[in-house]
Chain A
Amino acid sequence: MTLTTPLRRRLVNLAMQAIAVAAAFAAVAVLAIMVISVARRGGGAINLDLFTKLPHPFSFTPVKSGLANAFVGTAVIVGVATLMALPIGVLTAIYLNEFAPRRVAFLIALALDVLNGVPAIVVGIFVFALIVVSHGQSGLAGSFALAILMIPLIARATQETLALVPESTREASLALGVSRWRTTLSIVLPQTIGGIVTGTTLAVARVAGETAPLLFTSSLVGDQLHADPRQALASVPLKIFEYSESPDPADHRQAWAAALVLIAFILLASTVARLLAARSRRKLGITR
């Protein structure tokens, strides 16, 4: 009797393992290659001017120009979108996890997943027809479109953390004669702050680079700097799109630089979100 592994099985084992490792490396490699190539093309154009100077029309003599209005615009649009989506997303999650009958909860969860899958451009067209046709373009319309994309992300992340809160803590509060909503507010919600922050950070990272919804809602902008969301606001992704079609190589460099900033922001936000998520899991773990 031999107890050694037959050669054929050993080879198949080795081959499968190699394929899986190669696939995993390929996935990481795509990201690495992208980041490196964007960094090589745009890295040189990253300087203080990019964030502090305004775009300048084409000129044959070098001028100091930047994308300050686009960074301010994206910050305002995404900030307002977060203010819109955060309360709705969190309240949806609370209803979903704490109050909804099972069948209703199933339907809401399904609706959130469908909403999460709706292409961004469809959301853009929807907001265009709903708001822009009657009221014109504005930063608010852009925020509204982005908020629609953020709600399912925030709601699902919050709901997942709510589900981790042990039933026994809810019972402890209810048994004291504390009402359901007060229990949710004072006992359950404080334990889920970590999950809410994580979900919101991921949602911000996701929509900060969205271009299509803003094309319809906040794209007709000049090169002046302003932060009033009642008017159309410039944004980083649209500026990248615009400069990519420009004949001026200086614009190309700035587009790459803006892309690099966007990627760096998303990488940073995702990392922070994951660290926060791990931290809040640990905290919930101790409470059983």
Chain B
Amino acid sequence: MTVDYATRPVEPLAAIAPALPEPERGETVFDIRDLTARYGSNTAIRGVSMEIYRNLVTAVIGPSGCGKSTFIRCLNRMNDLIPGFAAEGEVLYHEVDLLGGNVDPVAVRRRIGMVFQRPNPFPKSIYDNIAFGLRVLGLKDSLDDRVEHALKRAALWDEVKHRLKASALSLSGGQQQRLCIARAIAVEPDVVLLDEPASSLDPIATSSIEDLMHELKRDYSFVIVTHNMQQAARVADMTAFFSLSQADENGHRSGILVEYDATQKMFTAPSDKRTEDYVTGRFG
């Protein structure tokens, strides 16, 4: 489908944000302290400290190249796969430092799932996409029920229930991404990280994914990276604004956390000038 962006009415951010109630900051899931992440000699993010709360949607926004993806990939140790990556500081997850030497990244990822920028279903059947993780992680009892439950929660069941044996690659992009969400929640994680999950989807698929997050946050905690401020304003309870620091003496710039607060406040009354410039579209 095509959308005429030129004539589509743009909702003013301030108009959507106040509709959200002030989020209740309950239990802390992540307590991030002075996190610095490097690729070789290149510092991607520097000195990030923030707390992420249970059963909220936390959005990470900011211009491209400011380390948003690097940041959330630190939360489930996905950056370990990249040669030359190193992180300093602490990422306390329920009081355990995920960066600690004796922490097994595989065990971390069982509790902290992830959905990626581009839908990446396995080249297997729809059913096996969900069942694979369940089988490997030993959740084999009543497998069919678990698969059905996960697909229902991802609002995909009605569209695929008659063709569970069909290849997942035959689904549309939006369906594939919902399948990836179903796959991530099927193994009953504690947190789901989403790295720009809607960036390759059309507006209708995007809004179905946003609805899902509203629905599912009762049971999970979400951290979502997005470059779409409207999306952050629509789905997030809390919003963190990342930006690039001033160039150091060598001319290097790195990603920093500028401001972190309730989404409503971030979009209507930010306390930092840089946040205000960004959310009002004067920068970025």
Chain A interface residues toward B at CB < 8 A: 101-102, 166, 168-169, 171-180, 182, 186-187, 190-191, 283, 286-288
Contacts and interface: CB of A to CB of B under 8 A. Distances in A.
A177 B132 contact: no
B99 interface: no
B106 interface: yes
A179 B110 CA distance: 10
Given A102-B83, A176-B184, A177-B187, A171 B133 contact: no
Interface stretch (B116-124, B144-152, B156-164, B238-246): B116-124
Contact of A191 (B111, B116, B118, B123): B123
A176 B136 contact: yes
A101 to B, nearest CB: 8
A177 B107 contact: yes
A172 B180 contact: yes
Contacts of B109: 174-177
A21 B37 CA distance: 57
Given A178-B136, A186-B132, A287-B169, A173 B122 contact: yes
5 contacts: A172-B121, A174-B109, A176-B187, A191-B123, A287-B123
Q: How large is the interface on B (under 10, 10 to 19, 20 to 34, 35 or more residues)?
A: 20 to 34
A85 to B, nearest CB: 27
B169 A286 contact: yes
Nearest to A183: B136
B63 to A, nearest CB: 24
B76 interface: yes
A187 B122 contact: yes
A178 B134 CA distance: 10
Contacts of B83: 101-102
Given A102-B83, A177-B109, A172 B122 contact: yes
Interface string B172-211: 0000000010011001000000000000000000000000
Nearest to B170: A286
Contacts of B111: 177
B184 A175 contact: yes
B78 A186 contact: no
A73 B169 CA distance: 46
Given A175-B184, A176-B187, A178-B136, 10 more contacts: A169-B123, A173-B132, A174-B78, A174-B109, A175-B78, A176-B136, A176-B183, A177-B107, A177-B133, A288-B118
A18 to B, nearest CB: 47
Interface string B12-41: 000000000000000000000000000000
Contact of B120 (A102, A171, A283, A286): A171
A87 B180 CA distance: 33
Interface of B: 76, 78, 81, 83, 106-111, 113-114, 116, 118, 120-123, 132-133, 136-137, 169, 180, 183-184, 187
Given A175-B76, A176-B183, A169 B133 contact: no
A105 to B, nearest CB: 11
A173 B81 CA distance: 13
B117 to A, nearest CB: 9
Contact of B116 (A172, A283, A287): A172
Nearest to A170: B81
Given A168-B120, A171-B78, A287-B169, A177 B114 contact: no
A190 B121 CA distance: 14
Max chain B CB contacts within 10 Å: which of A172, A283, A286, A288?
A172
A283 B107 CA distance: 32
B187 A172 contact: no
Nearest to B183: A176
A101 B183 CA distance: 30
A154 B78 CA distance: 31
Contacts of A187: 122, 132
Contacts of B122: 169, 172-173, 187
A166 B123 CA distance: 11
A178 B78 contact: no
Contacts of A186: 132, 136
A176 B133 contact: yes
A176 B189 CA distance: 9
A145 B116 CA distance: 47
A190 B78 CA distance: 23
A168 B116 contact: yes
Contacts of B81: 171, 174
Contacts of A102: 83
A284 to B, nearest CB: 8
B121 to A, nearest CB: 7
A175 B114 contact: yes
A126 to B, nearest CB: 36
Contacts of B183: 172, 176
Contacts of A286: 123, 169
A208 to B, nearest CB: 33
Contacts of A179: 106
A283 B113 CA distance: 28
A132 to B, nearest CB: 45
A9 to B, nearest CB: 48
B169 A182 contact: no
